[in-house]
Amino acid sequence: MPLQLTAINRYPVKSCRGEALSEAVVEPWGLAGDRRWMVVDGDNNAVTAREFPQLLFVRPQIVPDGIRLQAPGMADIVVRRPNSPASTVTLFHRRPFPAAFADTAAHEWVSAVVGRPCTFVYHDNPDGRPTNAEFSNPGDRVSLADGYPVLVTTEESLATLNTLIEDGPRGDEGPLPMTRFRPNIVVSGAEPWAEDGWRLMQIGEARFRAVKGCDRCVLTTIDPDSGRKGKEPIATLARHRKWDGVTWFGMNLIPDTPGATIRVGDHVDVLEAVSHPDGPPR
């Protein structure tokens, strides 16, 4: 069965809901518009849905010159991209990066959502945030994704994981939707876990290096529709997909053809792969 691109998602605000797209331009640091905004606290540390799951209810939509934010019980707000250059140093995964402040109304809006004083910032120069040199090339960059520009998952791996969940002691927590894993691109037609061995891919016009598996955190255990926390999928991944003390689902990609466009329905070619890998590169 040929491989096909079946979904494209971008996440304009770190830890908030995603936007489903029919096509996207690939930039060096990720899909255009992906994870360029973020909520930070009074100490300039990133505020994420790991600690504040209510962020998962925020629906961002990129609009000309800025972003629209929607949330239950809140009036919509349109935030313009800051015109001034980066004016603060924000900490993300304990590493500093420059960011530009949005306006006061935006700070008040995100503070009301989170329930404590926060500010809203824009990552105006993603060229300044390098990826992990151990798994990438000099010059590789990432926006505000955790580590790498693009995340790919497969429908077959999710189906297999859901079968394992349903057959396990917490079967009532499944099946889980793909939204739990927040991928940028979803592929169908692969064998379950085939992505562990992928090393070089062509998706439509775009070429990607598959450089590292995605180790999963507690965010995957939060239902994005209700905010409730459970044990899955981490409990089942720990039984079947645990290496080096962490669990794995999906593969991180780095673009090699910035400016290319990918579209839902594109054919996917795996140009290089490793046969029978012991899990993803980690």
E strand residue ranges, 219-279:
242-243, 246-255, 261-263, 267-273
Q: How much is the pLDDT for 17?
A: 97
Q: Backbone phi, then psi, for 162, in 5-degree steps?
A: -65, -35
Q: pLDDT band at residue 88, thresholds of 50, 70 and 90?
A: low
Contacts of residue 53, Cβ cutoff 8 Å, sequence gap at least 6:
222, 227, 229
pLDDT reading at 9 higher than 80: yes
165-221 pLDDT tens trace: 998 776 677 799 999 999 999 999 999 999 999 999 999 999 999 999 999 999 999
How far apart are alpha carbons 233 and 230 in whole angstroms? Answer: 8
Q: pLDDT band at residue 19, thresholds of 50, 70 and 90?
A: very high
**Interior CA angle at 26 toward 25 and 27, to 5°?**
115
* Percent over 70 (pLDDT), the chain: 96
CATH ID of 3-30+131-273, from 3.40.220.10, 3.30.70.20, 2.40.33.20, 3.40.50.880:
2.40.33.20
Arithmetic mean of pLDDT over the chain: 94
How far apart are alpha carbons 39 and 83 in whole angstroms? Answer: 18
Six-digit token string for 262: 């990918």
Q: How much is the pLDDT for 204?
A: 96
User: What's the pTM?
Assistant: 0.95
Of 56, 46, 143, 49, the C-alpha closest to 93 is 46
100: left (phi over 0), alpha (psi -120 to 50) or beta: beta
- Is residue 149 reached through a cis peptide bond, with omega within 30 degrees of 0 on the bond before it? no
Q: Which of 92-96, 118-122, 159-163 is least confident?
A: 92-96
Q: What is the mean pLDDT of residues 76-88?
A: 86
Of 97, 94, 150, the C-alpha closest to 125 is 97
Six-digit token string for 64: 């000309």
239-279 pLDDT tens trace: 999 999 999 999 999 999 999 999 999 999 999 999 888 88
Query: What does the domain layout of the chain look like in residue ranges?
Result: 3-30+131-273, 37-122
